[in-house]
Amino acid sequence: MQYVHLGRSGIRVSRLCLGTMNFGPHTSEADSHRIMDHALESGINYFDSANVYGWKVGEGVTEQIVGRWLAQGGGRREKVVLATKVYGRMGEWPNQSHLSALHIRRACEESLRRLHTDYIDVYQMHHVDRDCPWEEIWQAMEQLCREGKVLYIGSSNFAGWHIARAQELARSRHFLGLISEQSLYNLLERAVELEVIPACQAYGIGLIPWSPLARGLLGGALSPSPAGRRASVGVRKDIETHHATLEAYERLCGNLEATPAAVALAWLLHQPAVTAPVIGPRTMEQLAGALQSLELTLTQETLKTLDEIFPGPGGAAPEAYAW
């Protein structure tokens, strides 16, 4: 396993990040524990969760599953760079969602309890809060860092200008600010190349792509019997829309003698701004398939062909659309 620094921070994380969103809703606790065991044995040390995962309001189902795994000991907590998120709705009352100082404080305490730990390595804002001033957000995050309950701060689903505003205010407060940004990024969804990626590179923020397989579209969607998300009506409609593109893609993967999932992940790993794609295996087989991407080297010719099959926005703004 290769390890790289997470953004400009001193911590080092594996090139794949284990996403836990499926733990609980789609994967049993026993199987989730086995997947986490195998991921750690394979060298993956970066685990990502969120307080809303499990999709039962206020329960933090997935965090509880991860927490019970960590509580088994054996060096699990010490080896893992643990990330979770705050923003989503955790109750029906006011102040039980978003990024007010009150909610950040309460949500952190609840995540710590569910995760059976006394600190979170990377505490991520799951979305930008347009109604909360950055002065309040940073004050709350700084307090958590002073208390040792949080070590680093990350963001998710931020626009480029949100990253810039957050970082400039953090700088004025002599605070480290963001070290990572989780964004939707894959061969089919490349809008972040316009402004998010340039902002991350300018501020030394590690890019953590989520949905690297585009809800399964890039994982062999044209196979005769698609399973999981690929069997849903919405995804089947997306398959029809992108059928010709996916045909060309899967034909290229066949020529490379590699699985479509491995090629999609390997493409992300070849992008200079990317630290670690978030993989979200439902099964041990899916985890094994994702690990294959670490052994796959794509030639410049292959990367050019992928750009032709999946043309991005044309690079960074404004050159992508102006001059």
**Helix runs in the chain, H state only:** 29-41, 61-70, 76-79, 101-115, 134-146, 160-172, 196-203, 233-241, 243-256, 260-269, 284-291, 300-309
Minimal CA–CA distance to 20: which of 57, 75, 64?
64
Distances (CA, A) of 260 to 214, 236, 248, 293, 306: 12, 17, 11, 10, 12
Minimal CA–CA distance to 204: which of 176, 175, 179, 172?
179
| Triad 134, 208, 199: Cα angle to 5° | 50
53 catalytic residue (yes or no): yes
Question: DSSP label at 311?
Answer: -
In sequence order, what are the residues at sequence separation of 6 or more whose Cβ sits closer than 8 angstroms to the Cβ of residue 55?
25, 61
What is the Cα–Cα distance from 116 to 251, expressed in whole angstroms? 46
- If phi > 0 it is left, if psi is from -120 to 50 it is alpha, else beta; for residue 233 that is alpha
Residue of 3, 46, 53, 87 marked catalytic: 53
Per DSSP, the three-state class of 147 is: coil
In sequence order, what are the residues at sequence separation of 6 or more whose Cβ sits closer than 8 angstroms to the Cβ of residue 125?
85, 86, 87, 99, 137, 153, 154, 155, 156, 158
By annotation, the residues acting in catalysis are: 53
